Structure 1
Amino acid sequence: MSAKDKLANPLIALVVFLVLTIIALLATIIIMKLNEKPVEPPRVAPIAQKLVAPEKKSRPEPVTNPVTMTRPEPVTQASKPRNVCETPGCVTLADQLLNFQDPSVDPCQDFYKAACGKYSEHEVANRRLQKKDIIIQRMIKNFLLKNETSESKSENVMRQVYRTCEGLKNEEIFNANMKTAFRELFKDIQKIGSWPAADKNWDETKLNLNEMLLNIVKLGSSNFGLFQIRPTEVPFLEVAPDMARSPKVSANFQQIIFDILEKNGLQPDENVIADDVEDYITLEETLSQYAYDYNAEKVQFSKLQAQVPSLKLEKIIEEMMNPNRKKLLVTKVKPRMVAHKHSLFFDEKMNLEKLLKSTPKRTLANYLIFYYMDHAMNGLSVHDNVIKKRNCEKLVIEYLPKASLRVFVRNHFEKGNLKIVDEMAEETKKSFIEMLQESTWLGADSKKNAILKLEKMGKMIGYPKEFEKKGALDKMFETLKLLPKDTLYGILKKIGRFHMEQGIEFVALETPMDPVLPVLMTNAFYTDRNHLSFLVGYMDDPLFDATYPKYVNIALTGNILAHETSHGFDTAGIKRDENGEVRSWMKPEDLKEYGKKTQCLVDQYNEYDDPVFGKNLNGTTTLNEMVADMIGVTVAWKVFEKLDSSKEQKVIGFENENIDKLYFRAAALDFCSLPPTTSLVEELTRVHPTGNFRVNGIFSNMPQFATAFNCPEGSPMNPKTRCSIF
């Protein structure tokens, strides 16, 4: 069929017409697409992109005429600026407040669950402060891993400790270390004195008690088990019972004794060693009955020496000093040697002097050496399962706290935070005084004494200013001389001696900080010498941020400052005056009322229905922490009340929440935690109440909370009966 014939066919002609029409339509669509300009969506702030779902917009109608299509001009509208904190710190804060809360829970029924109910879904650290400690450890680890040379003596010491610790995780190095460390320890034991367990011909004439004590000091330890010599916070130098005694010896202790003796060519008698270790444990258990008494009466040092004539205490103390500075230090330290009437020294029936006289000399000699060995296990590093799991950066921070602090502050810390927190501490003190003055039951004389104690309270915010001086820390480290071949045992032994000498310098007021104070922990504490310490970990994000709204920092840092300050007025604090001396400054009638108010907290905790432990808790054990909590939240609220809330920014996601509610939500963050895994027996030994009570129990005592959340009277967070202190 010809083309003409095909076109003459009506069916074929229709098909051709349809094909041409489709082609024309497709061409038109292609031309339209080529001429169409995309309409840019409005930009959304990065923070809003992260936390707020973008508004859904309808798509524009397609333009049908490609020739006449024009791009519409954007329409701009003046918008009121958001009064919301959108700094990186506030984004993190908002993230925690939003993620930790359980919106399904009524805050008036269970505020802890409302604020912290989903904490465990987002965190693996038990609490935020533990998480900060982990972060700090990682920062120190990153620094230690850098293959950099340094002119800083303290930094080089840190790196050597870390490398030596990590090296032990290598099996070959570990095995070589065991042989070397056992020989090294045995040599040190021989320096201490004659060891009955290693000498088959040992007799009592070979015991020279004071000589053994002096030799232990030379090895870097002033804790002998029988007693210890330690700097106090003020500082003074105190002879006291062992403050951290544990009658439990290290695992496989008896086997380690065998290994030490055998690796040094001796053949120990199994039965004799077993008897010696049993005698050691028995004496440890006896000494553990003489606990450190924080309320012991202060006595002259000469009276203590008279109680233990068998010990040459002053000579032992002189041995603790840097030999090159002994002449100067003796005159400065002697007036600062203190003693307290601890039962270990002054008990009439049995005391240290009577123990020294009645205990067999073999047991005493073994005891001093066993105690030294038992406390050298960390450096000896003979348990491979422990070594492989060891956190070496944590070990560095533990043994070299000031050097680690220097690294953290120089590389990661915003020093401007020191001034802000110092000002907050002063405002806390001012509001505390106002609270005392407004007290309706505290008598005039007691108020006067309480205010004096506050005014005299010392403080350390972060670290002493002296450490800002260039080279100040490295100058201290000049006396610590490590060798490349030193084992971890040898390194930690030298650091122990270094700390001892620096401790004496601290007592002599030649250096401003106790060398073993764990200054890089996320911690704050009050000591019975009427002194407050607030460490840098608590002054860093996310626990503190200079860009947070003021009420958030008061709810977080302000509450901690107030809590620690309040320990000066707990049941132990009211027994000490403005100088930290044991003296009851509260009048008898006021003490009686104070007792009633603290008993209210005891009863409240005893009756508290904890979601994990039920009504089985002991308010007597946790009383001082509850008192500090209760006074602390009252003082912090007084600071908060002075703010002009109209000038305060809101938190992302809580734009419609009033500031009072946000304050309490922020305050709860520091108590959010993972569900407890401890047994009831263990919980009953703890001095801190449960985190659940520290939110629900303490906040329910504040009428301000009930007002903020409009809680019905009689609801759990607005009870008819409340506890208060001042």
Structure 2
Amino acid sequence: MNERDTENSRLLSSTQNLEVEEDGEEEGDDNEKVSKCCIYPLISIIICLVIIAICMGAVIVFWRMDSAPQAICKTDHNKTRDVCKTAECITLSSTLLNWQNTNIDPCEDFYEYSCGRYQEHTLNDGIRANEKDTIVMKLIRQFVLKNQSTTSNSENALMLLYEKCSLRYRMENRHQETEVIQREVFENIRKIGSWPIADKNWNSSHFNLNNMLSNMASIHMLPFGLFETRVIELYPMNTTAKQLVIRPTKLKFSIPQEELVRAIRDLLSVNGITSIMKKVKEDVAESFALDKEIGNIHIDPQPKPATLSELQKAVPDIDFERIIKSYLNPKTGNWSSLRTKIFSARFELFFGKNNNLSSIIARTKPRILANYLFLKYIEYAYFFFFDNTKVFSDDDFCTEVVTTSLPRASLRVFVRNHFKKENMAVASEIVEVVKTAYVEIINNSTWLHNSTRESAIEKVVKMKKVIGYTEEYERTGALDEMFETLQLSRSDSFFVLMTKVNRFKIEQLMDFVSSDSLLNPIEPLVMANAFYFPTKNLLNVLVPFLDKPLFDFKYPRYVAMAGVGRVLAHEIGHAFDINGRQTDEIGRTRDWWTREDTEEYDRRSECFAEQFTNFKDPSFKGKQNGTEVLAEIIADALGMEASWIAFKKINLTEEQGLIQFEDHDFGKLYFQVAALDFCAPSRIEERYSDQLSHPTNKFRINGAFSNSRAFADTYKCPVGSKMNPVQRCDMF
């Protein structure tokens, strides 16, 4: 029986009792009794229904109140702000919420306010860009481990090299693989020429210096000990954008003498040569003495330029053209173009009056010269047959080998499988917006003279950029066509593969020098970073830096400007740091500043240096020297100002908010997002007390942001607070 039936039953019972009590009344009252008996139950039923309806309504109201959001954020038009709900935006919101410590006053310590709980939510031992590096490496490793069948030349090379590397450094293979490599090294030695140490019948009349050097070049050697060839994208000789420069080698023997003696004896023993072991130590000592003699000749950091012809006259014993031709691929190499880009300089080793390379060659015995060159090759090969599995047993080691050896193939794997190409287009637009902001900063400078101002603006306008990679790689199959000259075989050992890969890289490097390409084929490409090259006036932004969580083309524009935009603005700021300001719009070293402007620049730079020197960072135990990291401090300051100017030009009424930050001021979000790039673990260990290459992460937020008036205004920091000091540093 339900409540309504119970209630009706009670009403019926009470009516029946009433009839019994009134039974003796007059007959005329019977109609009244009947009327009352009919009305009372009806009234009771109506009352019950009303009460039930009221209760149900109350339950619904309270249920809706309980399930509704605690705070509904509205715009000035009483309309809920739209929020970004992409996976990347949700991750960003989570990062902001998890890392921040709202118990800290942002006007006193914005680093702790933004990053105070960073260590509670990550195992990463660095900033989030370091974590992205780790992720990219794991993705590439995952790809090569799948070892899927493919028709791609570059992918096949990547997978085969990883497989052979893993076999080489597997614990059970180490002894056998070491001996295989030692035999292969010896085969290459025979290709170079006759080695006095290994040939008891060696005759100096058979020694030909240029034959040996050319054969070493064919194997892929760039540093020969006597000299080295290096690709320099500078302007030290003329206005050629890329040059192959012949210069004294800076690399001396890095392996201790006794260790090299042991390595040579092992090498000879494995190859069945034991009869001349006694002389090895003496021969090695003579090579070290020659290395020291060459190294003692001063290397001028800014020598006057010299043409290849002038160098050839100064050092007639070495046929430089023949040696460099050996670098080229016989089918694809362009000697006529490369020849115009080979230069040297009037280094003392080449052009010195008394003690120079020609005189050293003339007075050095052929046996010593021959051994010296062979030892240079053995030193290179030593890395491969050096048996230290403890050092190289890490699973990630071979991933690093393949990404370093084949950077473009590694990049292709990441781009094709994990990257949104739309990110590059948006990032390219951000660069142009930031460059416009820099022009505004320079134009608004109160102290630059017109000539300096015009040169600075010209440098910004003519700055080149590589966003991700260059156009020649966009065409389908373009990279695989370049890899057609790399002929690898499954029967090749790890060492043979690396010899072929390094030879391939040298050929590609020569093609790069000969061409107009801006993407150096041997530079690392799979790291989350961006660079500014003052000697090229070039901004280079690598693909992993343009990927989640650092960047996504669907991010609200203010988020993109605060994150990637601020970093790109920082890199562009290096064009005007203490080093970058010494080069012009095409990268030439040239003083385009007036004397008065140079003095003012130095005065303002000193403010930044003193600021960092006096900054107390409890996580760093070493001595903070602002002069040593001044270039980075200036780039931080300029980058912050430029990206803020660009941010202020965004139409924020059209921008989406972030979850849990719907009613957050966009200006505050800008600074908090910008701070994320410097969140890092607190380091108080001795191993982090070495000389700094960059300011501490805490300073890169608190120091740089405290110099921003925009920050103080946005957070309404009182004058005299740590983030709104009375005295600030600024550049322009």
SS of equivalent to 2:400: helix
CA gap 1:246/1:651 in 2 versus in 1, 3 angstroms? farther
Q: Which runs of 5+ in 1 are unaligned?
A: 1-23, 29-63
User: Counterpart of 1:540?
Assistant: 547
Q: Distance in 1 between matches of 2:468 and 2:258?
A: 38
**2:510 maps to which of 504, 512, 520:** 504
Q: Distance in 1 between matches of 2:99 and 2:250?
A: 38
CA gap 1:276/1:246 in 2 versus in 1, 3 angstroms? closer
User: Counterpart of 2:337?
Assistant: 332
Contact 2:621 2:686 in 1 (8 A): no
Report sequence identity in percent. Answer: 38
User: Counterpart of 2:492?
Assistant: 486
Q: Distance in 2 between matches of 1:140 and 1:243?
A: 34
Mean alpha-carbon deviation: is it higher for 359-368 or for 189-198? 359-368
For residues 100-152 of structure 1, the C-alpha deviation after alignment (integer angstroms, 9 at most, x for no partner) is 22323222222222222222222222121111111111111221122421111
User: Counterpart of 1:18?
Assistant: none
For residues 328-383 of structure 1, the C-alpha deviation after alignment (integer angstroms, 9 at most, x for no partner) is x1111112223345666567786655655666655543333233222234444632
SS of equivalent to 1:683: coil
Mean alpha-carbon deviation: is it higher for 711-720 or for 428-437? 711-720
Q: Distance in 2 between matches of 1:697 and 1:268?
A: 67
**1:374 maps to which of 376, 379, 389:** 379
Given the alignment of the two structures, is residue 579 of structure 1 paired with residue 586 of structure 2, yes or no? Answer: yes
CA gap 1:413/1:378 in 2 versus in 1, 3 angstroms? farther
Q: Distance in 2 between matches of 1:177 and 1:642?
A: 62
User: Counterpart of 2:393?
Assistant: 388
Mean alpha-carbon deviation: is it higher for 352-361 or for 380-389? 352-361
For residues 562-600 of structure 1, the C-alpha deviation after alignment (integer angstroms, 9 at most, x for no partner) is 121122222222222222122111122211111111122
Contact 2:200 2:276 in 1 (8 A): no
User: Counterpart of 1:458?
Assistant: 464
Contact 1:499 1:516 in 2 (8 A): yes
User: Counterpart of 1:163?
Assistant: 163
For residues 181-237 of structure 1, the C-alpha deviation after alignment (integer angstroms, 9 at most, x for no partner) is 110001112222333433456576565333222111111222324433233344322
Contact 1:249 1:374 in 2 (8 A): no
User: Counterpart of 2:567?
Assistant: 560
Given the alignment of the two structures, is residue 707 of structure 1 paired with residue 713 of structure 2, yes or no? Answer: yes
Q: Distance in 2 between matches of 1:145 and 1:599?
A: 52
Q: Distance in 1 between matches of 2:544 and 2:300?
A: 30
For residue 660 of structure 1, what is the amino acid of its counterpart?
Answer: G
Given the alignment of the two structures, is residue 114 of structure 1 paired with residue 116 of structure 2, yes or no? Answer: no
Q: Distance in 2 between matches of 1:285 and 1:434?
A: 54
User: Counterpart of 2:478?
Assistant: 472
1:236-275 to 2 correspondences below 5 Å: 236-242=243-249, 247=254, 252-267=259-274, 272-274=279-281
SS of equivalent to 2:624: coil
Mean alpha-carbon deviation: is it higher for 306-315 or for 199-208? 199-208
CA gap 1:323/1:94 in 2 versus in 1, 3 angstroms? same
**1:423 maps to which of 417, 422, 429:** 429
* TM-score scaled by length of structure 2: 0.83
**2:615 maps to which of 605, 608, 619:** 608
User: Counterpart of 1:154?
Assistant: 154
SS of equivalent to 1:429: helix
**1:643 maps to which of 642, 650, 670:** 650
Q: Distance in 2 between matches of 1:602 and 1:348?
A: 43
Q: Distance in 1 between matches of 2:600 and 2:656?
A: 41
Q: Distance in 1 between matches of 2:641 and 2:608?
A: 15
CA gap 1:627/1:325 in 2 versus in 1, 3 angstroms? same
User: Counterpart of 2:12?
Assistant: none
Shift of 1:247: 3.9
User: Counterpart of 1:81?
Assistant: 80
Shift of 1:242: 4.7
Given the alignment of the two structures, is residue 90 of structure 1 paired with residue 89 of structure 2, yes or no? Answer: yes
User: Counterpart of 2:133?
Assistant: 133
Given the alignment of the two structures, is residue 631 of structure 1 paired with residue 638 of structure 2, yes or no? Answer: yes
For residue 212 of structure 1, what is the amino acid of its counterpart?
Answer: M
User: Counterpart of 1:619?
Assistant: 626
Q: Give the structure with higher Rg (CA).
A: 2
* TM-score scaled by length of structure 1: 0.83
**1:321 maps to which of 325, 328, 341:** 328
For residues 302-335 of structure 1, the C-alpha deviation after alignment (integer angstroms, 9 at most, x for no partner) is 3444444433222211111111245xx1111112
Q: Which runs of 5+ in 2 are unaligned?
A: 6-47, 73-78, 234-240
1:202-217 to 2 correspondences below 5 Å: 207-217=207-217
Contact 2:314 2:351 in 1 (8 A): yes
CA gap 1:263/1:170 in 2 versus in 1, 3 angstroms? same
Shift of 1:555: 1.3
CA gap 1:633/1:243 in 2 versus in 1, 3 angstroms? farther
Contact 2:619 2:684 in 1 (8 A): no
Mean alpha-carbon deviation: is it higher for 275-284 or for 489-498? 275-284
Mean alpha-carbon deviation: is it higher for 383-392 or for 476-485? 383-392
CA gap 1:617/1:194 in 2 versus in 1, 3 angstroms? farther
SS of equivalent to 2:331: helix
CA gap 1:442/1:512 in 2 versus in 1, 3 angstroms? closer
1:157-196 to 2 correspondences below 5 Å: 157-196=157-196
Shift of 1:627: 1.9
User: Counterpart of 1:17?
Assistant: none
Contact 1:290 1:343 in 2 (8 A): yes
Q: Distance in 2 between matches of 1:652 and 1:298?
A: 60
Shift of 1:168: 2.5
User: Counterpart of 1:39?
Assistant: none
Mean alpha-carbon deviation: is it higher for 507-516 or for 182-191? 507-516
User: Counterpart of 2:531?
Assistant: 525
Q: Distance in 2 between matches of 1:108 and 1:292?
A: 51
SS of equivalent to 1:84: coil
Contact 1:262 1:268 in 2 (8 A): no
Shift of 1:499: 0.8
CA gap 1:678/1:215 in 2 versus in 1, 3 angstroms? farther
Q: Distance in 2 between matches of 1:708 and 1:246?
A: 57
For residues 369-406 of structure 1, the C-alpha deviation after alignment (integer angstroms, 9 at most, x for no partner) is 23322223444463222332252222211111111111
Shift of 1:648: 2.9
SS of equivalent to 1:375: helix
CA gap 1:711/1:340 in 2 versus in 1, 3 angstroms? farther
Contact 1:280 1:367 in 2 (8 A): yes
User: Counterpart of 2:700?
Assistant: 694
User: Counterpart of 2:230?
Assistant: 230
CA gap 1:560/1:199 in 2 versus in 1, 3 angstroms? same
CA gap 1:707/1:181 in 2 versus in 1, 3 angstroms? same
For residues 534-553 of structure 1, the C-alpha deviation after alignment (integer angstroms, 9 at most, x for no partner) is 01111100010122221121
- CA-based RMSD of the aligned residues comes to 3.3
SS of equivalent to 2:678: coil
User: Counterpart of 1:444?
Assistant: 450
Q: Distance in 2 between matches of 1:104 and 1:474?
A: 55
